[in-house]
Amino acid sequence: MWCLVLLLLGPQLHYGATCPYSCVCYIQGAVRCEGGITGVPAPMPLNTSLLQLNQTRIQKLSEGSFLGLPLMLRFSLSHSPLRVIHSNAFDPVPLLLSLKLTANELSNISSTVFSKLPNLQQLHLDKNRFSSIESDWFEVLPHLTELDVSKNFIAHLDKDVFYRLTNLRFLNLAGNLLRSLPQTLFSSLTRLQYLFLYNNQLESLDVEIFNNLVNLRELKLFTNRLSCIPARLFWPLSNLRVLSLSSNNFHVLPKETFYFMPKITKLSLFKNPLYLLPHHLSGYMPELKEFYLYDTNLNSVPGDLFANMTELIKLSLNYNPNLRHLPKDIFCCLPKLQRLSLQANDLEFLHPELFSRLTSLTTLILHSNKLYSLSTDIFQSLSKLSSIELHGNHFTSLPSRVVSNMAALKHVSLRGNPWNCNCTILDLAAWISQNLNLIGDHEHVLCHTPSYLRNSLLGSLTITSVQCSITVTESPGRTTEAATTSVKTTSTLPVEASYQATVPVTFQMTTSTTVPPSPTVSVTSTTTEDFTHQKTSAMDVFIFNKIVVLETKPEIVHSNRINGWVYLWTVPPAGTYSTFSVAFQVLLITAGIALIGALFYALYRLNGAMGDLATDKKTGGTSRKRNK
């Protein structure tokens, strides 16, 4: 048993016994050292294959720095004041595959420093002080696949500097001072897959510079000074997956710039002063998943901009302060889109059918625009929509159906809108109060007007807190078929049942009504900030919008909202009282007719009597004269 334990622990005890001070040695052959060391620690375990030195005081790698490390495959020295490397420093480690000299103070190295490293595959010289790199460095590095010289001070590259690196897959030139690139710089890099040129000062690119990069998968050109590119610059890159042109100086892009890119999955154009995008900008992109177009000067976009992006999942069209208009069919061909960002634009209006084909949409971000209204059914086809952000717009009111019809809804934001807390908002207030779990910012959804309700929680509004009064002036006009009357009434209306309230609401309304013989009465109203719930003796009325249509039907009381109108049906008078009332009215009319007939008969008899009296007077006078 003890023999077995010693056999297992023997190698670990051996390495621990030879591990230098300030280092940690691992049984697998890895050694990590840091701290105040001034040179490569010694002695090292004989099987050391990985040596990492970090945050040291090493300023120089001498000729004998790596003696006794014939099996070392990977070496890293970073975040140290390293300034000098002897030309023969790496001669004792001919098997080295990876050399990382990141974040030191190197500004120049001998042309032969890598001459004894024919197997080197990975070379990192990033975050140093190099102002140039020489083609001689890479003369004997035919197997190099990864080269990182980013974040130096390189302002110029020789056209043949990478000529012998035919196996290079990864090249990082980012974070330098490059203003231009030789036309043939990448001509021999036919196997290159990743090219990073971001954070330079590039002002232009030759039309043929990428011609031989047929296997390129990622090209990052963001944060340069590019203002114009050739129309066919990217056409040879048929295998490109990721392209970033963000944070440049593009005002326009050529027509057909993104043609022949069938494998691209991510395209970024944000933070450019673009004011115009041409039609036919992109070709068929059946694998594009993400498109970023924000922080531009666009005031509109072509209707076919996304037409060839049928597999798009994430679209950011936001932070464009001049974007006021979106074509009706702009999202016509995005059946798989899941996330759409339209926040912080200048949108005032959205077409009712704008989102109608986004059947897979789950997240819609519309906050920080200038929207003042939404069509009631604008989200009707979005059966998977679970999150919508509407805060920071100009909404004063919003039909509750805009959000209440979304079965999958889990989150909605409504804060930062100038809500007008009068009668028209009561249905939205009721929905909020019943769905507080969906409204993460409900404590900040506040009334803006009227002044006596300012900063009141919209979701806490009740029938009693929103007070109204109504003044109804009716001037029914009738011709031969209808009499003319003028009535001014003030009354109390019953509350809609869906609000579950028994206390009458008050609002004030001035109404001018013309009543034809038809049972339908059209009422055009002008409401004030106060809202009074009132009732006339003829019918019960609900008023929740500025335009109200009263329609008498033999059904129970209810309302329908269509195109901004509210149709209200009430039960006509019925029962014993109404029957008696009708009979009494008939009796009165019959009595009136009888009285009129009796009056005419009396006048007729009176007229006959007056005629007889007159005749008698004449006859009597003549007889008296004869008798005399």
Predicted confidence (pLDDT) at residue 198 exceeds the cutoff of 90: yes
pLDDT band at 623, cuts 50/70/90? very low
pLDDT surpassing 80 at residue 321: yes
Residue 317 has pLDDT above 60, yes or no: yes
Does 505 reside within a domain?
Answer: yes
Percent of the chain with pLDDT over 90: 65
Residues 57 and 36: beta-carbon distance below 8 Å: yes
Comparing CA positions, the residue from 240, 253, 319 lying closest to residue 280 is 253
Residue type, 33: C
Q: Which two tokens stand for residue 235?
A: 């056409």
The more confidently predicted of residues 508 and 160 is 160
Given a cut of 70, whether residue 459 has pLDDT beyond it is: yes
**How confident is the model at residue 242, as a pLDDT?**
98
Average pLDDT, the chain: 82
pLDDT value for 244 = 98
Contact 246, 222 (CB under 8 A): yes
Q: Is the pLDDT of residue 448 over 60?
A: yes
Q: DSSP assignment, residue 103?
A: S
> 474-512 burial, b for 16+ CB within 10 Å, e for fewer?
beeeeeeeeeeeeeeeeeebbbbeeeebeebbbbbbebe
User: Which of 512, 504, 581 minimizes the C-alpha distance to 540?
Assistant: 504
**Which of 85-94, 512-521, 601-610 is least confident?**
512-521
CA angle 112, 118, 120 (to 5 degrees): 100
Task: Tell me the C-alpha distance between 381 and 383, whole Å.
Answer: 6
Query: Can you tell me the distance from the alpha carbon of 190 to that of 163, in angstroms, rounded to the nearest whole number?
Result: 11
The structural domain count of the chain equals: 1
pLDDT at residue 592, as a whole number: 86
Select the more confidently predicted residue: 405 or 526: 405
What mean pLDDT do residues 282-288 have?
Answer: 96
Q: What is the pLDDT of residue 494?
A: 34
> 524-533, 548-557, 576-585: which has the highest mean pLDDT?
576-585
Q: What's the pLDDT score for residue 141?
A: 94
Q: What residue has token string 């994430």? A: 314
As given in the structure block, the two tokens for residue 457 are: 């929680």
Where residue 315 falls among pLDDT bands split at 50, 70, 90? Answer: very high
Query: 540 pLDDT band (50/70/90 cuts)?
Result: very low
Q: Answer yes or no: are the C-beta atoms of 527 and 422 closer than 8 Å.
A: yes
Give 242's strand partners: 218, 266
Does 605 reside within a domain? no
Residue 548 belongs to a domain: yes
How confident is the model at residue 598, as a pLDDT? 87
Weakest mean pLDDT among 156-170, 265-279, 537-551, 577-591 = 537-551
Which pLDDT does position 619 carry in this prediction? 62
pLDDT in the model for residue 265: 98
Is 228 contained in some domain? no
pLDDT above 90 for 5: no
Per-residue confidence band for 402, with pLDDT thresholds at 50, 70 and 90: very high
Q: How much is the pLDDT for 617?
A: 66
User: Global pTM?
Assistant: 0.73
Contact 59, 40 (CB under 8 A): no
What are the φ and ψ backbone dihedral angles of 449, each rounded to 5 degrees? -135, 155
- How far is it, in rounded angstroms, from Cα 283 to Cα 306? 10
Question: What is d(CA 356, CA 347) in angstroms, rounded to the nearest whole number?
Answer: 18
| Dist CA 515 CA 471 (whole Å) | 17
Other beta carbons less than 10 A from residue 529's beta carbon? 18
Q: Which pLDDT score is estimated for 607?
A: 82
Give the whole-angstrom CA distance, residue 523 versus residue 565: 10
Q: Is residue 583 part of a domain?
A: no
- Reply yes or no on whether the pLDDT at 286 is more than 60: yes
The sign of the torsion formed by the CA atoms of 395, 401, 402, 407 equals: positive
Give 104-115 pLDDT, tens digit per residue: 999 999 989 999
pLDDT tier, 537 (very low <50, low <70, confident <90, very high otherwise) = very low
Identity of the amino acid at 554 = P
Query: Is residue 292 in some structural domain?
Result: no
- The predicted structure's pLDDT at residue 208: 96
Is 488 among the domain residues?
A: yes
Question: Which residue range(s) make up the domain with 507?
Answer: 471-570
Quick check: helix, strand or coil at residue 365?
Answer: strand
Q: Give me the mean pLDDT over the 226-247 stretch.
A: 97
- Residue 368 pLDDT grade (very low, low, confident, very high; cuts 50, 70, 90): very high
Lowest average pLDDT, out of 326-335, 414-423, 507-516, goes to 507-516
Confidence at residue 249, expressed as pLDDT on a 0 to 100 scale: 98
In the block, tokens 């002044």 appear at 451
Query: What pLDDT is attached to residue 171?
Result: 98
Give the C-alpha distances (Å, rounded to integers) separating 408 from 97, 248, 387, 405, 462.
54, 40, 9, 9, 27
Residue 487 belongs to a domain: yes
Q: What is the mean pLDDT of residues 306-310?
A: 96
